[in-house]
């Protein structure tokens, strides 16, 4: 069973922007890439550095600490299918954005 969390209007980034969203003790980085919204944990799976402030190139975010680059759509490290940052679907209805949180026990 998933949970849909409303993104406050003030946290909804404009095209090319990003914001940090706090929910239930988690820091979630929200990115707007050419009108598409992507949400990931703000913690690099390598050593926990923040990803929100990293260099954004299209839908690829680069970790500030060690330069690892992750695809925002899949969460995976580029050219790998082993290291992954947790990513969340984002749904938009009636002008409101929702981050979909899937409990770990039911995640694929």
Domains located in the chain, CATH noted: 17-94 (2.102.10.10)
Q: Return per-residue pLDDT of the chain as tens, 108 residues.
A: 789 999 999 999 999 999 998 888 889 999 999 999 999 999 999 888 999 999 999 999 999 999 999 999 999 999 999 999 999 999 999 989 999 998 765 454
User: Which residues, in sequence order, are CB contacts of 11 under 8 Å at separation 6+?
Assistant: 19, 20, 21, 30
Report the distance separating Cα 22 and Cα 28, nearest Å: 6
Report the distance separating Cα 80 and Cα 35, nearest Å: 26
Q: Return phi, psi of residue 101, to 5°.
A: -100, 120
Report the distance separating Cα 102 and Cα 41, nearest Å: 13
Put simply, whether the predicted model's pTM sits higher than 0.95 gets the answer: no
């Amino acid at each position: 069973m998933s949970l849909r969390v409303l993104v406050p209007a003030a946290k909804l980034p404009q095209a090319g922007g990003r914001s940090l969203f706090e929910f239930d003790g988690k820091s979630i980085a929200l990115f707007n890439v050419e009108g598409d919204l992507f949400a990931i944990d703000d913690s690099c799976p390598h050593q926990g550095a923040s990803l929100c402030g990293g260099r954004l190139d299209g839908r690829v975010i680069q970790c500030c600490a060690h330069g690892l680059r992750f695809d925002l759509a899949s969460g995976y490290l580029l050219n790998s299918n082993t290291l992954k940052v947790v990513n969340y679907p984002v749904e938009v209805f009636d002008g409101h954005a929702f981050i979909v949180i899937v409990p770990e026990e039911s995640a694929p």
